Amino acid sequence: MTIQLLNENMHSPRQPNILFICSDQQRADTIAAYGNDWVQAPNLNALAERSAVFENAYVTQAVCSPARGTMLTGLYPHSAGVVRNSQPGRLFSNLSEDVKTIAEMAPDDYLTAKFGKWHLGQDLVKQHGFDEWVSTEDAHDDGFPNYERREHRSLKSDYFQYLVEHGYEPEGDHDGHLSHTQNQRGFLPEEHTMAAFLARRTEEFIRRNADRPWLMYLTMFEPHPPYNGPLNDLYPPDSVPDGPLLMTEPAANTPLFTRARSRFHSAQASEANPDDPRAYWRELRAKYFGNMTVLDNAVGKVLAALEESGQADRTVVVFTSDHGDSLGDRGMLGKRSFYEEVSRVPMLVSVPWLTSGGRRLAGSFGHVDLVPTMLELMAVEPPEHLQGQSRVDVLSGDAGLEDDVFMQWHGGRATISLGDAVVERMSTVGWRSVVTPDRWKLNLSNGDQCELYDLDSDPLELENLFDAPEHRDRVRDMSARIRQWQAETGDDMELPAV
């Protein structure tokens, strides 16, 4: 009854479509809404102008599979059972059949679809309540339980088949993933990138289903590595701003994991360009931003299909990413950290009957709130087992973001090599983090140097205050918040005494 009255007062459609778009490894500072006024992203910039822009949105774990598990289930990684990247035949990396996704919680008359990256187990077989499924990730196909079935042993992804039909040989495995912008002869032209392929399939889905409600999870691959693509030359490296953190050396009182990664990746940059390591990072960043524009072009085609099919006014559009990328900041590359450039991501929510004029939302938002929010927008009471909460009241302007946000790093061996022996060892150490409403961040580990940052006065996280005597009580209080959250969510990772 509450939800029905809410919809009547807002004059919202009874059964709005939900279009959830997730990019991969996209930092927040890649679009104008987060301060980037030079990357060519007109479609995302236009979406932001009619959306609620969450100024500080955080992932639950800054690596693909756990982050995606949360965005589908409304559970923290340890509760969803996905705490490491998807690995064939491994525990703790594949989404169990017993864990429900939003597709299994959506109303029965909704058509549900997942197009693109899954990364939560067997990628190629439709599952977890989705009615339609477009697959792209052959690199994760070997050794999963579904391949015990004879009819699945010769499967190839829809994207693999598309590339073959267009004369490509997509057998190559580039950085653990099949040809998102590359093939054996170099990078693909933009029209054949994974982003463009998924955009066309999604356009067709939107136009075909104009007469019924639907839920679409569109999970793009760009701008994820490899840092290479058809728009490599769009941004001359010398024109790409360095930013204040490029090649900075982490302080001595930061975690060993951070310092070891910085040394390792900085050495790689120096080896690649001994005369000018900064040029190495600038070239890599320029290509990354080129893939950002590939992504934006694809998103633009999808949003245009909504307009042209007459569905834009009754479609909720959510845009976010699974995590960011260091891109040379602090001398590091990749994900797996709580620093803002990695854990903080873009978060745009367009609800035409609530956000048409655009709005900026201060405070902190956690990805665990995505599923309950989208369920309420579909007039579904969020199930009690969900660990997040609906933020429709925030979207409507009736409430603010005043809660703690929690993140985790479960540790354990990665699917790929992360660096030298020190990096590999320290990557197995677990962490927990909290960002409080007054913008303090505490990162706790039982096996490495802990961190405390004042994000208001030190947004670049340069001064670790964890050992400062004047902040001892703050550390204790924030640690207690994490422990309380652990008790409420069934997290048994041991934390240090503080």
- Identify whether the C-beta of residue 32 lies closer than 8 Å to the C-beta of residue 48: yes
Q: DSSP H helical segments within 106-250, as ranges?
A: 158-165, 194-208
Which regions of the chain are under pLDDT 50? Answer: 1-10, 88-92, 141-148, 173-185
User: Residue 221: which of 312, 152, 157 has the closest Cα?
Assistant: 157
The Cα diameter of the chain in Å comes to 68
The sign of the CA dihedral 305, 307, 311, 316 is positive
pLDDT at 178 (0 to 100)? 44
Task: Work out the number of other CB atoms within 10 angstroms of the CB of residue 139.
Answer: 18
- 403/171 Cα distance (integer angstroms): 47
Residues paired with residue 405 on neighbouring β-strands, in sequence order: 435
Backbone region of residue 488 per phi and psi (left: phi > 0; alpha: psi in -120 to 50; beta: other values): alpha
pLDDT at 150 (0 to 100)? 59
pLDDT at 97 (0 to 100)? 87
Residues paired with residue 267 on neighbouring β-strands, in sequence order: none
Query: Beta 315-321 vs 347-350: how paired, if at all?
Result: antiparallel
Sheet holding 440-445, edge to edge: 405-409, 431-435, 440-445, 451-454
pLDDT at 201 (0 to 100)? 98
pLDDT at 441 (0 to 100)? 98
- Identify whether the C-beta of residue 122 lies closer than 8 Å to the C-beta of residue 155: no
> Helix, strand or coil for residue 217?
strand
pLDDT at 8 (0 to 100)? 41
- 70/92 Cα distance (integer angstroms): 14
pLDDT at 183 (0 to 100)? 45
Architecture of domain 2-244+276-400 in this structure: 3-Layer(aba) Sandwich (3.40)
- Identify whether the C-beta of residue 322 lies closer than 8 Å to the C-beta of residue 67: yes
- Between the alpha carbon of residue 300 and those of residues 202, 217, 288, 417, 493, the distances in Å are 12, 16, 19, 35, 42
Sorted by sequence, the CB contacts under 8 Å of residue 47 that are 6+ apart come out as 299, 303, 317, 319, 348, 350
